[in-house]
């Protein structure tokens, strides 16, 4: 079995990036803003969520070990 140990800051970063990604997707499908505003903010939040997830995932997967 492989185990991964996460620190509290790593867990917080993961939760934050998931929240940004979710907020971006929610704005893309909502009707609260004008179409242009919604697309701009939604794409920006989605991009930040995805781009910040990549190095976090690489770091966490790189620290896995066999038990």
Residues 15-46 pLDDT 10s: 888 888 888 788 777 777 788 887 888 888 88
User: What confidence tier does 65 reach under pLDDT thresholds 50, 70, 90?
Assistant: low
Q: Is the pLDDT of residue 66 over 70?
A: no
Please provide the distance, in angstroms rounded to a whole number, between the alpha carbons at the two ends of the chain. Answer: 6
Predicted TM-score (pTM) of this structure: 0.54
Q: Roughly what angle, to the nearest 10 degrees, separates helices 8-29 and 35-62?
A: 150
What pLDDT is stored for residue 42 in this prediction? 80
What pLDDT is stored for residue 16 in this prediction? 86
């Amino acid at each position: 079995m492989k185990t991964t140990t996460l620190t509290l800051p790593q867990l917080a970063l993961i939760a934050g990036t998931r929240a940004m990604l979710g907020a971006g997707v929610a704005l893309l499908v909502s009707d609260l803003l004008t179409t242009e505003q919604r697309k701009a903010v939604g794409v920006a939040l989605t991009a930040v969520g995805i781009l910040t997830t990549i190095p976090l995932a690489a770091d966490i997967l790189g620290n896995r070990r066999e038990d």
